[in-house]
Amino acid sequence: MAQILDGLKVSKEVKAEIKEEVQKILANKRRAPHLVAILVGNNGASKAYVNSKVKDCEEVGFSSSLIKFPSTVAESELLEKIEELNRSKDVDGFIVQLPLPKQIDQEKIIMAIDPRKDVDGFHPENFGKMALEMDTFLPATPFGILTLLERYNIETKGKNCVIIGRSRIVGKPMSILMGRKDFPGNSTVTLTHSYTEHIEEYTKEADIVITALGDPYFLKAEMIKEGAVIIDVGITRVDDDSEKGYHLAGDVDFDSCAEKASWITPVPGGVGPMTRAMLMKNTIIAYKTSVYND
């Protein structure tokens, strides 16, 4: 049976470390770090995620603000708000929750964010620095996975790592980070996507599989190698007749894969809470490097 990579537990440790730092900052009579989240529209999952971010901020002692726009918002209005946040001396970092409605050019929005406040690490300047192994904000989900691997001391050097999904926020940055000359890293990386043929031929050879495709229970035990490390990023709301009306499903068929894997992340309680903790981490990094705080 696989051992659990307990993201909930590690996320609490990371947040406790951040809280301690914030207490020192406050003891020195400085203002608390401040994170702002922009939410456009009314998507249930996005709302839940943004609300939990506000809760995380309270927990570690940050200030937080939530700015909401209707799904009909004009691109220009969103850009104006971003400019305002870029200029604001009491905002250390902000994120624009994705996906955005169709009338808005996502690339234009991301490009407008001051890279120094881009705590999601999505701006091309930060993405480029990440790829070149320069100091920068790492996107929260890949950063969370690296931290989980690091804290559990999972060997990644020389391992075959197969990633499923090539999104800007998870798969693509993850593939770069696992191949970096660093720990955790130094893996031999294969990035697979919807055009990959016979994907099981890749996953069967993998020492580490990272699934980020958003297809419930996609990865089955037959597709993995004995002793593999399985990281499940996927979170899909699947309707059911429970009181809530849905349950959360990962991309991994946990029950069958757990019998074969050496380590595995659960959903919920795996990568999700780590993502949230690393956003807090990026925000305190932004605060500490901010030109307004030296």
Look up 120 and say whether it is catalytic: yes
Q: Read off the tokens for 44.
A: 């249930």
Look up 3 and say whether it is catalytic: no
- Residue 65 interacts, among ligand GUE, ligand NDP, none and using kind-specific CB cut-offs from 5 to 8 Å, with none
Q: Read off the tokens for 293.
A: 């705080």
Size of the site for ligand GUE (CB under 6 A): 19
Instruction: Give counts: helices (H), strands (E), the chain.
Output: 10, 11
Q: Which residues bind ligand NDP (CB under 6 A)?
A: 141, 164-167, 169-171, 192-196, 199, 212-215, 233-236, 271-272, 275
Three-class DSSP category at 252: strand
Distance between CA atoms of residues 149 and 78, nearest Å: 37
Angle, helices 171-178 vs 140-151, to 10°: value is 40
The binder of ligand GUE chosen from 4, 31, 49, 111 (CB under 6 A): 49
As measured in angstroms, the least distance from the Cβ of 279 to ligand GUE is 7
Instruction: Read off φ and ψ for residue 29, nearest 5 degrees.
Output: 60, 30
Look up 129 and say whether it is catalytic: no
As measured in angstroms, the least distance from the Cβ of 275 to ligand NDP is 3
Ramachandran region, residue 2 (left: φ > 0; alpha: ψ -120 to 50; beta: rest): beta
Residue corresponding to tokens 């757990």: 258
Give yes or no for residue 199 binding ligand GUE (CB under 6 A): no
Give yes or no for residue 269 binding ligand GUE (CB under 6 A): yes
Residues that bind ligand GUE (CB under 6 A): 48-49, 52, 95-98, 120, 140, 169, 235, 248, 267-269, 272-273, 275-276
Q: Please report, in range form, the residues annotated as the binding site for NADP(+).
A: 165-167, 235
